[in-house]
Amino acid sequence: MKQETIDMVLKFRDDRNWRQFHNPKDLAISVSLEAAELLEVFQWSADDLICENKREKIKEELADVVNYCILMADACGLDLDEIVQAKVKRNSEKYPVELAYGNKSKYTELKKEKA
Ligand SMILES: [Mg+2]
């Protein structure tokens, strides 16, 4: 995540004196609500495998999700790059390429399938 982007999101919050409202609980709720708005873009859609005609709405809602993630990370003193990279490393251990390549099974099933 570019520091410039993080600073822009935090400045938007601070210019409005909204930090006082940004506790972890309400930010977690906001991440989830914005994720639901992203999902809503596809509700009742027959052609939900493409995003061409939904691109603008997807951009808006995805940005809302990421903005709240930035605010939540700040409220909890977390570095987004660090936690995302750590998660990818953990997922790499749960989903080794030799077991998971081209296979969408959950990690708990992968080793059973191999055996
Ligand atoms: Mg939204």
- Domains of the chain: which residue ranges? 1-78, 80-115
- 86 CA distance to ligand 1 middle (Å): 28
User: Would you state the pLDDT for residue 47?
Assistant: 64
pLDDT tens, per residue, the chain with 115 residues: 999 999 999 999 999 999 999 999 999 999 999 999 999 998 888 766 677 788 999 999 999 999 999 999 999 999 999 999 999 999 999 999 999 999 999 999 998 887 7
* Annotation: CATH topology of 1-78: Helix Hairpins (1.10.287)
- 97 CA distance to ligand 1 middle (Å): 35
DSSP letter string over 6-67? HHHHHHHHHHTT-GGG--HHHHHHHHHHHHHHHHHTTTT-TTTT--GGGHHHHHHHHHHHHH
For the entire predicted model, the pTM comes to 0.89
- 78 CA distance to ligand 1 middle (Å): 23
- 35 CA distance to ligand 1 middle (Å): 8
- 10 CA distance to ligand 1 middle (Å): 18
